[in-house]
Amino acid sequence: DIQMTQSPSTLSASVGDRVTITCRASQSINIWLAWYQQKPGKAPKLLISKASSLESGVPSRFSGSGSGTEFTLTISSLQPDDFATYYCQQYNSYSKTFGQGTKLEIK
Amino acid sequence: QVQLVESGGDVVQPGGSLRLSCAASGFTFSGYGMHWVRQAPGKGLEWVVFIRYDGSDKYYADSVKGRFNISRDNSNNTLSLQMNSLRAEDTAVYFCAKEGSSRQPFDFWGQGTLVTVSS
């Protein structure tokens, strides 16, 4: 199975900061990488698919990049609503593995 | 609008069985692959199982293979997960999730149902 490793596990930042989360795959997944946002007690929400395609309705301050085995999610200017946990997911294979998550906390 | 509503979560003893359901509406259920994803308390997301739009293929995580069985009823827009030989480590919120079209990830999720395995 393809393993997904996110870093950091926790990120402390302030409103207005630019933050980047990294996701690495144990083997090449081309561009088949998604990013989700999850808030406590809620289902995950799809933000980005195909590594860099922003879903409809997602603010443009979110962006994704990468291919192969290294990917990043960047939030250009943090807003209060962005403090949540973020997960990457590969969907290159039938087993759609997730990264372990990055909790974005208010500094 | 797309809705996925899970049900069936409960407290069950180790070794017991439970059947979860996911009622789908707002889209052509028979046209999309479906998944179950779980989240243990305070932990991350774990993909559990996939079923193709017509039920012809199923893929399971190693952690549940041989114990869980996914099925779907396209005439009643319902996804099911039969869970047998339950273990404490199966305790989690179970989400059903819809695959997007044309090789897309999970574009809609249910609210989840809690399964607790405890004596």
Lowest average pLDDT, out of A49-53, A91-95, B91-95, goes to: A91-95
Q: In which band, very low, low, confident or very high, does the pLDDT at B107 lie, cut at 50, 70 and 90? A: very high
Beta bridge partners, B4, equal: B24
- Tell whether the model's pLDDT for residue A29 goes beyond 90: yes
Residues of A whose CB is below 8 A from B47: 89, 95-98
Mean pLDDT of B87-97: 98
Hey, what are A27's tokens? Answer: 């083997």
Interface of A with B (CB under 8 A): 1, 32, 34, 36, 38, 42-46, 49-50, 55, 87, 89, 91, 94-101
pLDDT of the residue at B101: 86
Counting residues of chain B whose pLDDT is more than 70, the rounded percentage is 100
Sign of CA dihedral A27, B32, A44, A71: positive
The pLDDT of residue B103 is: 85
Q: H or E element: which one contains A106?
A: strand A102-106
- What span, in angstroms and rounded, lies between the C-alpha atoms of A8 and B115? 30
Residue with tokens 């952690």: B63
Within 8 A of A94 by CB-CB distance, chain B residues are 50, 59
Residue B94 touches chain A, beta carbons under 8 Å: no
Q: State mean pLDDT over A52-71.
A: 97
Average pLDDT, chain B: 97
- Judged against a pLDDT cut of 90, whether residue B12 lies above it is answered with yes
**Local structure of B40: helix, strand or coil:** coil
A33: distance to nearest CA of chain B, Å? 8
Residue A94's pLDDT is 87
Q: What is the mean pLDDT of residues A31-41?
A: 97
Q: How many CA atoms within 13 Å lie on the side-chain side of B55? A: 14
